[in-house]
Structure formats: structure tokens, C-alpha cells
Structure 1
């Protein structure tokens, strides 16, 4: 067995070690490491959770990649139709990592009531639309049935829009859609609210309403099967830009692609700042934890000064004795990490299960509940990084051992 490790283990197991004057300071140092790990884990879990939640919400309304006509249309409205008989639809097998593709169309309209009116962006969806992502948003009712042979008037409306228009589940209302020739009488459609959703993302909740795509096809006088654009979903959000390029190379030259990152850059630039905050918190806490461990190490050295004198008189080198105390400190850090991880996992589980903590102003973060998300490699990297950095920080204060004289140390005993 390693000589230094053997002595460090004997020191840790010694009864007088646990009842010495340094015991209280050691417990404080362990508690500081544990609390630091809890704070760092919470920072990572909530920061990553918020990023992932916002990414998923934006993708739910737009897909990860949009395939559109190659034109100058910068609006949200579908102007020029696309044929649905494409080689990549309904199964996009040309590019790996594509999980789903769906055809949609959008059209601007105005909801008119006796008291007020509201602008709306109507999104037409078909039988291929993936409603799974909306399951978490659905508050009342159900999703529109778009699989019937004839188009129906069922719509899915946001709770935000329903409140503004004083609507409730089951209400019917009229919506006006302007034609390309503004001199013509607008199209008028009557819809019935069969479902109400709340994504917490006001940018989309404020005006998006989902209907049967056949309404838009008929109003725009498109041919059977023509759609506005395609929404593509990938299995790894981190590869969106790479997959956008691959999709672009796989589709006909008259079509264009746009990733959700390019469509809403301000949103993703904002959530990327969370990483800076996380690293800043981790850095500060590691420094504070390291300073606490330095204090504990110095107390251990002072408490074991006679032992250091004896070991030096027996021929032990300064570096060998330093390693004994570094092993001892690493053990204390490990205890702190163990408690910190246990408390962190407990907090994450409680928050994810019972949703205890909520944002005081959900509009600023586009979600009510504080979300949590953490991966195994985050936990491993955090623990290993904390252990290594704290031990490295202890190398300098352990240098004090080289200044201890064996004669004075033994007399001190």
C-alpha cells in the first residue's frame, strides 16, 4: 500500500482526529463543499432546464428546420404554395437524425366579436401534425380533429387569446381573412373552440391559432395537396445548424431551409447567456470552497505539527508529508461531495415531481415552473472538476510543511 495513503487513512480513522480542536473547522469545511455542490448543481440543473424548455417550446410552434419556397417572403404568412409530393415527404430518409416532418400553412386573419377584435395568425395543420409536444400545453378540451373527410371548424386557441376575447371552451366566433385583392370581400369563417392551450410563451400564445389546413388551402385557392411549408424535427437540438445544411443539400434547388436558430436569433442569444451565469457561479463557489479547505488544511497541519516533526526526523521528505495531508484533504472534499450530491439530487427530484418553486414573473422566462435538467456528464464533470481544482489550490498552502523544523516540532509536543 502507498506509504502516504496508509498514514492518511490511519489519521482519518483515529478517534482523537474526530475529537480534536480542528474537528469543528473540518466540519465547517465539509459543509462548505456540500453547500457549494448543491448551489452549483442547482445552477446547472435550472439553467439547462430553462434552456431546454425554451428550445422545446420554440420548436413546438416552428419545428427545428423549416423548408420553404426560395423567395423574399419574410413574413409569417404562407404566400406561394409548395407541392406536397416531394421526395423527402412524408418520410425524410435522406438525412439521418430526422425524427419527423409535417406540412403546414399559415394565414393572417382578424377575429371579430361584438365588443372587440384581435389579429390572429392561423396555422393550418393536417393528419401528419405531431400533437405530442402540445400535450403539456393543453389546459382544456382536446385537439382539433383534422382527419375527417371534410374540413371542420374546430380550432385550438391559446388561453391568453381566449382571455383577451372573453372566450371559453365551446364558444363559436367569426374570423375574417383578407384576399390578395384588397378590393374583394374578405373570406369569413366560423370556428368553434374545442381546445385551449397555454405554452407560457406569450410571443406565440398572443396570436397563434391552429385549424384544419384545408381551410387555408380553399381560401388561397391552392391545388389539392399544396401546402405552405414543411417543419422538420431533429433528434438532437445541438446539431440543428449541421442538420439544416444537410437538409438544404438534400432538397430541390428551388426550396430553401431556415433553422429555428436563424428565425429567432434574439431568443437563443438570450438563453446562451445562461451559460455565462452558470460558469460564473461555479467559479465563485469553487474559489470559496477552496478557501475553506485551505483553512481546514492549515488547521490540520498545526494540529499535527508534532507528527510532522517525527516523520521528518525519521527521514520522510517534505513532499511525502505534504501528500499525506493532501490525501486527508481529498477525503474531506469527497465527504462534502457525497453529501452535496445527495442533497442536490433530492432537490432536483422534489422540484421535478412536485413543482414547488415557480417564477414570480413567468412572462420574463416563458414558463411558470422552474424547470430542471441535468445529464450524467454534468454531474461527473462537476464532481471531478471540484475535487481536482480544490486539491490543486491546496498545493500552495501545504508548502508550509517544508518550513516546520523537526526539532521545534518535537519540542512542541
Structure 2
């Protein structure tokens, strides 16, 4: 067995070690590391979780990249149609990283009930629509099926349903303005087949999901005319270069917009999370490292006589330093173990039981989302372990300054 490791094990296992003057300081150092790793795990898991959840919700209503006709109209109301007969539809083969393309069209309208009315945006979708996100949002009923003949089934948010006192199966009348202002508004009757709740009130308070053929008929469009193409990317981190590539591959009459551009303020706010997470990690590692340095210095002071004896017996300065570094590695390992156990336990509990709610008006979600990944957990633990260890190399150099004669006489 390695000599230095053997000595370190004997020090850790000794009863005097556990009842020594340094014991409370060692416990504080272990606690600091445990609390640090808990804070870092929570900040990363909830920070990345919130970023991913908000991105998914924005993508659910818009796609990652939107292709429309060049139009000065900034609303969600599709004004100038484009033909769906494009080289990039139904598959965008000229650009890598695009996993799905779907057609949509939107039109503003007003829902009128016996007691209330509410302005909405009716988003028309086709047979190629990806219902993955709305399947997660669904709270009542079923998702509408638009693969067969035209039907009146729609998906409405729980926010609008509660506001207008509507329930599953209710029939509603929605009025739409004509392009010709001299003509009376046109109306459509819809049946609520499903109720969703995305938790993103900015979208929930306005969007209905209906068959795109309703929008085509209301706008007097041909069967191949649509409002926009929505593209989804495989890796959101590559959204900007993929968006630029899509722009270069489409005709000059078409405009390409990523959701980062369309909702710039939301994504700028999300980007701040990266800085906050890095700041928290830096502070926690610094605090843990300082506590470990204090503990190591106390251990060295407490074991001064032992250091002198080992040096007198022929041990080198580096050999003695390794004894205390091994000791410190054990303490760091204990702190990381308890920190991971408690931190991951709290995150799993939040993931399963939604213990900590959030204000959707501020955070766009109803509870703190959690993203757990073995990759960042291992990287965080390894980084913390190595950085704390590197910080301990400098104070351990004090051992080289200790004289064996003075150390043996030290009391």
C-alpha cells in the first residue's frame, strides 16, 4: 500500500482525530462543500430547466424558425399567403439540423358568448402538425384530428375557457373581420374538443388551435396557400447558424425569422441565467476552497510533531504534503457525497411533486422546472474536486518550512 495513503487512512480512522480541536473546523469545511454542491446543483438544474421549458413553450406556438412572405404586418394575423409547393416542403433537405417542417396560418377573431367576448388568434394547423408539445399541455379532452374531412373541433386554453366560462364539448361562435371593411364580419362555429394549459400566459390568453382549412376559407385562399412554415431544429444551440442557412436557401420573396429574433426580450432574459449560474458556481467553489484551506492549516498545526517525526525518519517534504492532501481529498469526497445526496434528492422531489411553485406572469411557468443530466453532474463534481484540491496545494507548502527539530519539540 502507498505509504502516504496508509498514514492518511490511520489519521482519519483514529479516535483522537474525531475528538480533536480540528474536528469542528473539519465538520464546517465538509458542510461548506456539501452546501456548495447543493447550491450549484440546484442553480444549474433549475436554470437550465427553466431555459429549456420556456424555449419549448415558445417553440410550441411558433416553431424554432418561421418562414413567411415579406410583410410589414407585425401581428400574428396571416395577411399575404404563400404557396406550400416549395422545394423545402415537406422536408428541408438542403440544410442539416432541421427535424420537422409544418404549415400554419393564423387569423384574429373575437369569441362571443351570451355574457362575454374575448379577442383571440385562431391558429390553423394541418395534417403535418407536430402535437408533441400540446400533448404535454393537454389537461382535458383529446387533441383534435384534422387528417380527415374538415371538422369544427378546436383546442382552447384553460385560461380562455375559465375566462369565458366554457367547458369541454361547448360550441362557440367566433367572428372574423372581412378584408373589405364594408362587409359584415364572418363567423365560424367551433366545438371544444380539448383544453390545454402551457403555463405561458402570453400565449394561453390568445391562441386557439383549429383546422387550417377554416383559415383558408375565411381568407378566400386556394388549397395550396398557407400563412407560414414552421421549422423545428434538432439542436437549439445551433439555431442561429441554421436560421442563416435557411434564409440563404429560400427565395428572396420569403422572410425567415428565428424565435430568438421574434421574442428577443425573452431570450435575452434567459441568457442572463448562464451568467448567474457561472457566478453562483464560482462563489460556491471559492467558499468551499477557503474552508478547506482553513481546515488543512489547522490539521497541519495539530500534527506538527508528526510532521517533524516523519521528516526525521527521512520522509521528503512532498511525501508529507501528500499525507495531508490525501486527508483533504477524503474530506472533499465526504462533502461531495452528502451534497449530491441531498441536492439530487431535492431536485428529484421537485421534479416529481412540484414542491416550489413560480409566478407564471414573471417566469412563464407554474413551477420551478428541473433538468437532470449525468453529464453536468459529473463535470460539476469533478471540477469542484480538482479546483478545491489545487487550492490546497499552496497552503500545504507550509510543511516544507517546518523544521524537524523544532517540530518534535513543538507543544
TM-score by length of 1: 0.94
CA displacement at 1:264 relative to structure 2: 0.3
> How far, CA to CA, are the matches of 2:4 and 2:370 in structure 1?
42
Residues in 2 aligned to 1:260 and 1:39: alpha-carbon distance in whole angstroms: 31
Alignment map for 1:62-101 (pairs within 5 Å): 62-101=62-101
> Is contact 2:247–2:255 with CA below 8 Å preserved after alignment?
yes
Deviates more, 1:17-26 or 1:52-61: 17-26
Corresponding position: 1:396 with 2:394: yes
Q: Secondary structure at the match of 2:66?
A: strand
Q: In structure 2, how many angstroms separate the alpha carbons of the residues matched to 1:338 and 1:94?
A: 49
Counterpart-to-counterpart distance in 1, 2:337 and 2:98: 40
Equivalences for 1:170-209 in 2 at 5 Å? 170-209=169-208
Per-residue CA deviations over 1:239-296 (Å, capped at 9, x if unaligned) read 1111112222333332221111111000011111112221222122212211221221
Q: Does 1:115 align with 2:112?
A: no
Pair 1:141 & 2:141 matched: yes
* Structure 2: distance between partners of 1:362 and 1:109: 25
Q: Tell me the distance in 1 between the aligned counterparts of 2:59 and 2:92.
A: 18
Q: Between Structure 1 and Structure 2, how many residues are aligned?
A: 411
> 2:126 maps to what in 1?
126
Q: Deviations over 1:170-191 (max 9, x none)?
A: 2222211111121111111111
Preserved CA contact (<8 Å) 2:135 2:143: no
Task: Extract unaligned runs of 5+ from structure 1.
Answer: none
Stretch moving more, 301-310 or 281-290: 281-290
Residue deviations 1:365-392 (CA, integer Å, cap 9, x gap):
1111211113333112211221122122
The whole-number CA distance in structure 2 between the counterparts of 1:265 and 1:237 is: 15
Please give the per-residue CA displacement for 1:51-100, whole angstroms capped at 9, x wherever unaligned: 11001000000000111113333221111111112221112222222211
Q: SS of the counterpart of 1:61?
A: helix
* Cα deviation, residue 412, structure 1: 2.5
Question: 2: CA distance between counterparts of 1:220 and 1:47?
Answer: 43
Paired with 1:271 and 1:87, the residues of 2 have a C-alpha distance of 34
Verify: 1:364 aligned to 2:359, yes or no.
no
Matches within 5 A, 1:47-66: 47-66=47-66
1:303 matched to 2:315? no
Cα distance in structure 2, aligned partners of 1:21 and 1:95: 66
Paired residue secondary structure (1:180): coil
Q: Is the 8 A contact 2:4 2:319 kept in 1?
A: yes
Give the equivalent residue in structure 1 for 2:382: 384
Q: Aligned partners of 1:16, 1:292: CA distance in 2, in Å?
A: 21
Structure 1 distance, partners of 2:159, 2:71, is 33
With 265-274 and 282-291 compared, the bigger mean Cα shift is at 282-291
Give the corresponding residue for 1:29: 29
Q: Which shifted more, 338-347 or 152-161?
A: 338-347
Q: CA deviation at 1:230?
A: 0.6
Distance apart, 1:355 and its partner CA: 2.3
Q: In 1, distance between residues paired with 2:39 and 2:71?
A: 49
Superposition misfits of 4+ residues, deviation over 6 angstroms: none
